[in-house]
Amino acid sequence: MRRRDFLKVAATSATGAVLFAGCGRIGDGVPETEFKIAQPVYTPNDWAFGRDAWFATAAPPDQGGYGLIVRVFEGRAKKVDGNPDFPGVLGKSDARAQALVQELYHPDRLAGPQRAATRGSGQFQPISWDSALQEVAQILRDAGGERAVLITTRPSSSQAAIIAAFQRVTGIRHAILEPDELVVLRSVVRRLFGVSTLPIPDLANASFLLNFGAEFLHGWIAPVQLARAYGEFRQGRPGQRGLYYHVGPRLSATAANADRWFPIVPGTEGLIALAIANVLLTEGAVPRDRFAPYFAALGLDEARLTNDYSPERVATTSGLTAEQIRDLAHALVEHEPAVVIAGTNAAASTNGLFNLVATLGLNLLLDSLNQPGGLLLNPEPPLPELRIMDDAILTQRQWAELFQQIQSGAISTVLVYRANPVYALPPATGAAEALRAAQHVVSFSPFVDETTQLADIVLPDQAWLEQWGLEVPDPGPGFAAVAVRQPVVQPFVDARAFGDVLIQLATQLGQPLPWASQEEATKTLALQLRRLGRGNIQAADDKQFLVTLQAQGGWWDEQSRGSGTVPSSPVVQPREPSFAGDSAQFPYLLVPYPLPSIGYGELAHLPWLQALPEPISTNVWQSWVEVAQRTADELGLSTGDVVRLITPQATVELPVYVNPAGQPGLVAIPFGQGHTALGRYAEGRGVNPLTLVAPENDSDAGTLAWCATRCRIEKTGRRARLARFEGMVPAFQLEEFPIVRVMAPSA
Amino acid sequence: MRYIRLILFVLVVLVVMAIPLALVLARTYFLSPTAQPVKAQPIQFPHQVHVQAIGLDCTYCHRNATTSAQATLPALELCMQCHKIIPSQGRPELEKLVAAFQQNQPILWNKVHQLPDHTHFVHSVHLSFGFQCSTCHGDVGAMGKPGVKQVRDLRMGDCITCHQQNGARTDCSVCHY
Amino acid sequence: MPRWGMVIDLDRCIGCGACVVACQAENNVPINTEDVYHQRRAIAWIRLERYWEGEFPNVKARYIPVPCMQCTNAPCEPVCPVYATYHTTEGINMQVYNRCIGTRYCSINCHWHVRFFNFWEPKWPDSLKNQLNPDVTVRSRGVMEKCNFCVHRIVKAEQKAKVEGRALRTDEVTTACAQACPTNAIVFGDLDDPNSAVSQLLAQAEREHRVYRLLEDLGTEPNVYYLKKVDVEATATAAEAH
């Protein structure tokens, strides 16, 4: 290169660099970044001080219904946190509560009422609220109450009051869709302790916790309350650390926190509990008179317990040793106070009802009911209107009957509110076929889920942060508590609260409800709380009461505690678990499990939760099959290999995750994925395990036993990329240099 | 003549190297915030009339300046408190205001005072230490139509100098987070 | 002048991930899509790690939340050619986004891997942008980002205290992760204030010999303290390895 050329190049490049850099000036030039300041027409409430405001509201009913606070800035909800005043949670929250803002601002939220182009096409056209309401009112008028059914998820307490009033004027049937494990749990608590509300273990004061499978720290009945208490249980009392033993088939996210994990054959929880009772009885560790209600509930007597359920006999079926069972029994009486909880997997076997009765019944033997550090019973909701009717919660068997009725034409009109039976019930239940056969399907869901896809008309509900309501946390903190839900922002889209729509429909039908809106219903019910003349709020008049209620986020009365009865008649007979599929053909047991983040799939549309790694496998955004290390070695599998998972019901191909803590003989698969609708973040990912499990019922409870199917796996030879947080090499602690340092408890 | 080629070459080199330098200086001059022409605004709002003639305090309209990060524009309803009794016929700028209010349309103003990216400025703290609005914004009260002009550089050097002079913290995280 | 620090009690941590999501919500961290995970470019200012111990059936899974350690002698700082990462007077290791030119030297020099590079322009659907926190800069493509102990909350509290003409109160400010943590495993506060929750907790845990810091041997003096997991079945080796 000659000198002249070099200079030319140098000059051009220097000049070019300057010109290039000079193209943009800060905030200018690029239209998107051109700064505009909007001058609003009216001052929004929260602009009054130009600062952010925190408003109190409540968590959704299926997430615990506890008190929340939401940070609002310039009319937009920014951040959700726990209400520091609300009993039980005291300012704490979980990932699901944090993600509530994503429900509010979800890009796939329905912006207003829609009509399906043709049913099932998934194509909707916007219509006006007036015409939509008229149309639905006409449908209800034509069908009449007895030929219509309203399927909802667990409603908030004030929604339950509105639904009850709507039922009174229209005669419509109400059916609540809840996860099967909760249906079993509610039924057991009702029959064993004589209360309709769920109890809460007083972990903060307990010394020993024995847990049969309940995912109590990851999305079970009251994850935040229980997690907060768990912190106190472990390190909240100087010099005293609670001890936690976990009995269950998987080392789940919750089980990983246990001091000892007892891997068992799924469904044998109840038998183990009987063996523990056997040890307690034969060793005389607890007073004999405590056994009477336990025997009564299980239809047992002393002789049968001592003869049939010795640790040695149970050991062979359960996968534990007799010594381990004795250890469990001894731990229960050595550490006072002790409490026993059970749920999730334990409730999802063919003997789920028995499992829960036998395990939760151990609390009767320990005399831990309503004792500090024991199982606290919660009182009934302070107002009868706020009660959610148990008989509306259907079991799998009842759902199948209901869908039969719809298909036969006995029920012509189906209203669906936030429930997603097409996804959340196994295909054999016939939800999809029934909805296709129904004359009219009206959905009130804010998202187009699998069920809403089959609707003719959608009248979308508001997001939880946009509406009014009262919420009785179930389980409560051990005493009466009500959280108030208030809109923290102006409605973001042209949706209407479900309660408002029911009230407007009733008005159209010429039978107005006692309230003009969901807001009025909430406030009327709240003022009834004031009439009770107790609780935390001192107010001179109604207005002051409501203002204080909204500011504090709730009403609670620590004096109002629950009381129950002991069982006197048999609830259930002892029963061994059974599994669908021939054990020669299907050598492994399939253990599905709910994800800590997206649960049974109802939250799969929220990207933060989808992107939150499952704690044990650290997998995200998809489905996978968990195989034990030993099984993987036998089959020559490694993480990322695609296998064919075959059950008597279906065959799917999924990538493998080799779990070092997996129990040989078990294959685990997470719930939550496999959506064909529910928005861009949920659709087309993974597999819904409900399509894999055999439609086995718990013959006592009538619920689906999703943990009672055998399966086999075949190598396909292909590999898939697993989206996960951990690398492909499992992170084991180095013995000489552990990341998580562990110490033995100081004496 | 012996060195003419060398001299010429040095001259050429100097000229060539001066081009980018000149461009940098020119850019700094022409693109500096204070050298910008007055921005076109949807309404030619005369501060002069409101501040000098009527005597309104800055915080009468920009009422959050003392309490929050943003000084904030008032809602149109505040404008209309006075302007509903001030005739707007034949005054095109006022007609725009009334029309926006009646049509429930927010007005989108062009931001005049641009801070660099990734910077957080909090009005309330500065005002609480006794600074006047005019310290940074100049005599806005004297600015009539067509609108407000930025009078101070408001780039980082400017901020730092002022912070140093007044003993304020100059830690990056005071403004950048 | 406060010296900010954090104490994470591993015996309380249950691995629920509330801190992870709370941090994303507070700090405008972009959504970690499936693609991002495939490329191993997920951004999580605080993350939950799980370590295995032993073999089935005597297997343990241990959780540990890992935010930035806010090292006193931070190895990320001296390698930055443009001084984009620096130490504040209050002990926080800050990232100045305007200065960052994306050399990623700092992330290579960080042993905890808590610095994240924006490989793409962060994108949200328009409606989700309504949730973005106005107090926190949305980073652009090509810059590093990291946990800064929710410095915007600290600055806000300090400004509020200044306007009111008082000093910062004890435990007046907390981070998003500590606020959300349902088991109170994460505690944030001023290490120099003997009355603060962190100081009290540290003093008590020190007596029980539970305090340690992650990769302490490197001598970077992290300001995040961990309290050891307590386990009745603690293996001899794990318990001895102090």
What is the structure's pLDDT at A45? 64
Q: At what angle do helices B76-83 and B92-102 cross, to 10 degrees?
A: 120
Q: What CATH number should be reported for the domain whose range is A114-174+425-561? A: 3.40.50.740
How far apart are the CA of C160 and the nearest CA of chain B, in angstroms? 8
Q: What percent of chain B shows pLDDT beyond 90?
A: 27
Q: Is 80 exceeded by the pLDDT of residue A203?
A: yes
Q: State the chains in contact with B (3 or more Cβ–Cβ pairs under 8 Å).
A: A, C
Query: Are the folds of A114-174+425-561 and A588-719 the same?
Result: no
Residue B116 inside a domain? The answer is yes
Using a CB-CB cut-off of 8 Å, the residues of chain B touching C94 are 172-173, 176-177
Looking at the fold, whether B80 and B155 belong to one and the same domain comes out as no
From the list A28, A36, A30, C96, the residue with the least C-alpha distance to B32 is A28
Residue B132 inside a domain? The answer is yes
Q: What percent of chain A shows pLDDT beyond 90?
A: 82
Nearest CA in chain A to C35: A723
Segment A391-417, tens digit of pLDDT: 899 999 999 999 999 999 999 999 999
Segment A60-72, tens digit of pLDDT: 999 999 999 999 9
CB A200 within 8 A of CB A225: yes
What is the structure's pLDDT at C235? 58
Domains of chain A, by residue range, sit at 3-33, 114-174+425-561, 200-376, 588-719
Looking at the fold, whether B57 and B132 belong to one and the same domain comes out as yes
Q: State the chains in contact with C (3 or more Cβ–Cβ pairs under 8 Å).
A: A, B
What ipTM is given for this predicted complex? 0.94
What is the structure's pLDDT at C238? 46
**Chains B & C: contacts with CB separation below 8 Å:** 48
CA distance C127 to C140: 19
Looking at the fold, whether B168 and B98 belong to one and the same domain comes out as no
C window 118-137, beta carbon within 8 A of A: 125-134
CATH 3.40.228.10 fits A200-376, yes or no: yes
Using a CB-CB cut-off of 8 Å, the residues of chain B touching A11 are 16-17, 19-20
Residue B14 inside a domain? The answer is no
Domain count, chain B: 2
How far apart are the CA of A51 and the nearest CA of chain B, in angstroms? 6
What is the structure's pLDDT at C162? 86
**Given pLDDT bands bounded at 50, 70 and 90, which one contains residue A33?**
very low
Q: What is the mean pLDDT of residues A427-436?
A: 93
- In this structure, what DSSP letter does residue A408 have? H
SS3 content of chain A, % helix, strand, coil (to 5): 35, 20, 45
CB contact under 8 A, C88 and B120: no
CB A580 within 8 A of CB A710: yes
What is the structure's pLDDT at B153? 85
Q: Please identify, among B54, B89, B108, the residue that sits at the C-terminal boundary of a domain.
A: B108
Burial class (CB in 10 A: 0-12, 13-18, 19+), A428: middle
Looking at the fold, whether B84 and B103 belong to one and the same domain comes out as yes
CA distance A68 to A50: 22
Using a CB-CB cut-off of 8 Å, the residues of chain B touching A39 are 73-76, 106-109
**Given pLDDT bands bounded at 50, 70 and 90, which one contains residue A1?**
very low
Nearest to C52 among A77, A217, A731 (CB): A731
CB contact under 8 A, B105 and A10: no
Q: Is 70 exceeded by the pLDDT of residue A249?
A: yes
Domains of chain C, by residue range, sit at 4-240
CA distance A21 to A19: 5
CA angle C151, C156, C160 (to 5 degrees): 150
Looking at the fold, whether B89 and B69 belong to one and the same domain comes out as no
Q: What CATH number should be reported for the domain whose range is A588-719? A: 2.40.40.20
CB contact under 8 A, B64 and A39: no
Q: Is 80 exceeded by the pLDDT of residue C241?
A: no
Looking at the fold, whether B61 and B132 belong to one and the same domain comes out as yes
Looking at the fold, whether B91 and B132 belong to one and the same domain comes out as no
Chain B contact for C142 (CB, 8 A cutoff): no
Q: Is 60 exceeded by the pLDDT of residue C237?
A: no
CB contact under 8 A, B117 and C155: no
Q: What is the mean pLDDT of residues C6-13?
A: 96
Q: What percent of chain C shows pLDDT beyond 90?
A: 82
Segment B73-98, tens digit of pLDDT: 888 988 998 998 888 888 888 999 99
Using a CB-CB cut-off of 8 Å, the residues of chain B touching A38 are 73, 106-109
CB A659 within 8 A of CB C51: no
Q: Is 50 exceeded by the pLDDT of residue B176?
A: yes
Looking at the fold, whether B145 and B158 belong to one and the same domain comes out as yes
CA distance A407 to A405: 5
**Given pLDDT bands bounded at 50, 70 and 90, which one contains residue C57?**
confident
How far apart are the CA of A128 and the nearest CA of chain B, in angstroms? 21
Q: What CATH number should be reported for the domain whose range is C4-240? A: 3.30.70.20
Segments forming the whole domain that contains residue B169? 32-73+111-174
CA distance C20 to C180: 9
Looking at the fold, whether B116 and B67 belong to one and the same domain comes out as yes
CB contact under 8 A, B63 and A50: yes
Using a CB-CB cut-off of 8 Å, the residues of chain B touching A6 are none
Nearest CA in chain B to A28: B114
How far apart are the CA of C32 and the nearest CA of chain A, in angstroms? 6
What is the structure's pLDDT at A430? 92
DSSP β-bridge partners for residue C230: A743
From the list B171, A729, A720, the residue with the least C-alpha distance to C92 is B171
What is the structure's pLDDT at A34? 52
Residues 6+ apart with CB under 8 A from B81: none
CB contact under 8 A, B118 and C86: no
What is the structure's pLDDT at A351? 93
Looking at the fold, whether B93 and B148 belong to one and the same domain comes out as no
Looking at the fold, whether B119 and B170 belong to one and the same domain comes out as yes
Segment C58-117, tens digit of pLDDT: 899 999 999 999 999 999 999 999 999 999 999 999 999 989 999 999 999 999 999 999
Residue B19 inside a domain? The answer is no
How far apart are the CA of C96 and the nearest CA of chain B, in angstroms? 6
CB contact under 8 A, B118 and C96: yes
What is the structure's pLDDT at A564? 87
CB contact under 8 A, C96 and B176: yes
Looking at the fold, whether B82 and B167 belong to one and the same domain comes out as no
CB contact under 8 A, B106 and A38: yes
CB contact under 8 A, C89 and B171: yes
- State the average pLDDT for chain B: 87
pTM of the model: 0.91
